[in-house]
Amino acid sequence: MSEYEYDLFTIGAGSGGVRASRFAAQLGARVAVAEDRDLGGTCVNLGCIPKKLLSYAAHYEEDFGDAAGFGWSMIQPTFSWQTLIANKNREIARLNGVYEKLLGDAGVTLLRGRATLVDAHTVEVAGQRIRARHILVATGGRPAKPELPGMAHAITSDEAFHLARLPVRVVVYGGGYIALEFASILNGLGAQVNLVYRGSRILRGFDADLGATLATEMTKKGVTLRLSTQISRIDRDDDGLVVTLDDGTLLDADCVLAATGRTPNTAGLGLEAVGVEFDARGAVQVDENFRSNIPSILAIGDVIDRVQLTPVALAEGMFVAEHLFGGGRPAPSYENVATAVFSHPNVATVGLSEEEARARGAVRIFRSRFKALRHTLSGRDEQTMMKIVVDAASDRVLGVHMVGEEAGEIIQGFAVALQCGATKAQFDATIGIHPTSAEEFVTMRTAVEP
Ligand code: NDP
């Protein structure tokens, strides 16, 4: 009999952990996974899925307004936050069940409880010690709040999904994914939103045209952007919260949402005691095969803090399963990872920004700004922005960027083209689908002057 009860013990049943566990079991490994919260991790419970459902809800307000231009008239719509949250919770509970079934069907043992490491091959869950040949840490991350006076009054995205009522006055702190998505959701649902961001341009690290365009469009929709500004302190008074900004402005709020990045979940797992090393940001340090400095302990997903995206964690999980138990999948590439910010309007991007591409060599830039056909009758003043970054020497398309309706749906297809090394000439040779916004990506012919 083996000295190990399991070939793989996964800590954390989020996107990455569940995928690695299922794939390993399908390859014949004996697998257990421990989880002390709801199955599915951040994405299912406190991230991608509930966020997108709330984003759909927030879109209706505009849609009702737009309908008049198409001949519809309707009674004044009303909105119930409680109904939305109850329906969202029901769908999340269904997904928790789907995850449990997926694990069961794959033959993975699910242990409910918090797992801690005892040694390089032993974990303890609910008082039970279990030995495993490999241990996979897939514990994800959690929201991080800056330390400043009164920050305890601020909530994070974790709590935003379960608020008892929709706040009327909201201050969102941050200028990244979560800040922009929640600012859009809460604004769309009727809250007055101030977004406070320390930088001069939201979406730092993205192509500059994306942040600039989104800022203009979000402002038109009613979000107040306060850039190059920081929160100094938050106080509670009889009327709610008072947020003091570093320029002296006071903002009254019912809710302050800190969306200031996420930190890897490494505490309380016994990793230090076993000797697992962390990088400067506190993430588990792993090699190209996701192995830590302790060979039997591996880690994937947000806890290694490479790219905090569900599809990346899935790719890492599948690779680890095959690396350990057979199968020839290559290590995941972090190039050309397409991503979307589900702000209103959406932002989506794949490949290099103009700034990154220029740092590597000469480029040609193609950019289009236009009003989508739908808004000719809706009357809405909303601009779509599309941009292609091309390597001047090889004609290869290096980056494709968009702000506009369904940007995520559109950019996904172009990510395949970039993965295949498409050139601008091949974009040009592609016949468009008319009338769509996406066809603009294959009809831009004149480079923007440098
Ligand atoms: P981001 O890194 O996207 O944004 C964090 C924001 O907070 C930045 O604007 C940052 O400013 C600001 N910030 C950080 N620290 C401080 C501080 N001490 N004081 C003031 N401001 C601060 O993180 P999020 O929390 O929005 O999301 C975490 C990650 O989760 C994302 O990076 C993404 O990978 C993933 N995610 C993906 C989504 C999607 O795919 N649609 C949706 C939500 C999250 P600065 O720019 O100056 O550093």
Give tens-digit pLDDT for 412-433: 999 999 999 999 999 999 999 9
One domain for residues 80 and 138? yes
Residue 1 reports pLDDT greater than 60 = no
**Protein residue with least CA distance to atom 14, ligand 1:** 260
Q: Report the 10 Å Cβ neighbour count for 240.
A: 16
Band (395; pLDDT cuts 50, 70, 90): very high
Note whether residue 339 is domain-resident.
Answer: no
CB contact at 8 A, 99 and 45: no
Among residues 29, 272, 27, 36, which one has the least CA distance to residue 132? 29
Q: HSE on the CB side for 228, CA within 13 Å?
A: 1
User: Does 448 fall in a domain?
Assistant: no
**From the CB of 424, is ligand 1 less than 6 Å away?**
no
Residues 172 and 244 in one domain: yes
Using CA atoms, how far apart are residues 447 and 450, in angstroms rounded to an integer?
8
Flag whether pLDDT at 327 surpasses 90.
no
Residue nearest atom 3 of ligand 1, based on CA coordinates: 176
Q: Quick one: which of 148, 143, 142 has its CA closest to 260? A: 143
Question: What residue's CA is closest to ligand 1, atom 47?
Answer: 199
Task: Tell me the catalytic residues.
Answer: 434
Cβ–Cβ < 8 Å for 51, 42: no
137 shares its domain with 267: yes
Distance CA 424, CA 411 (A): 16
- Ligand 1 atom with least separation from CA of 308: 34
Mean pLDDT, the chain, rounded, equals: 97
Under 8 Å between Cβ of 350 and 204: no
Nearest to 367 by CA among 443, 267, 310: 443
Q: How far is the CA of 261 from the centre of ligand 1 (A)?
A: 4
Distance (Å) from CA 235 to ligand 1 centroid: 24
Please indicate whether residue 177, judged by its CB atom, sits closer than 6 Å to ligand 1.
yes
Q: How many domains does the chain have?
A: 3
Are residues 222 and 296 both part of a single domain? no
In a domain, 336, yes or no: no
User: Do 137 and 202 fall into the same domain?
Assistant: no
For 298-323, what is each residue's pLDDT tens digit?
Answer: 999 999 999 999 999 999 999 999 99
Give the number of other Cβ atoms within 10 Å of residue 325's Cβ. 18
If one residue of 15, 145, 155, 177 were mutated to test the ligand 1 pocket, choosing by the most ligand atoms within 8 A of its CB, it would be 177
Q: For residues 108 and 64, state if they share a domain.
A: yes
Q: Whose CA is nearest to atom 36 of ligand 1?
A: 177
What is the whole-number distance in angstroms between the Cα of residue 176 and the centre of ligand 1?
4
For residue 421, give its domain range.
Answer: 345-442
Residues 191 and 94 both lie in one domain: no
pLDDT(78) > 60: yes
State residue 74's pLDDT score: 80
**Does the C-beta of 260 come closer than 6 Å to ligand 1?**
yes
Same domain, 115 and 13: yes
Ligand 1 in reach of 199 Cβ (< 6 A): yes
Which of the listed residues 172, 262, 350 should we mutate to test ligand 1's pocket, taking the one with most ligand atoms within 8 A of CB?
262
The response to whether residue 178 sits with its C-beta less than 6 Å from ligand 1 reads yes
Asked if residue 365 and residue 315 are part of one domain, the reply reads no
Under a CB-based contact definition with an 8 Å cutoff, are residues 129 and 122 in contact? yes
Residues 158-196: tens digit of each pLDDT: 999 999 999 999 999 999 999 999 999 999 999 999 999
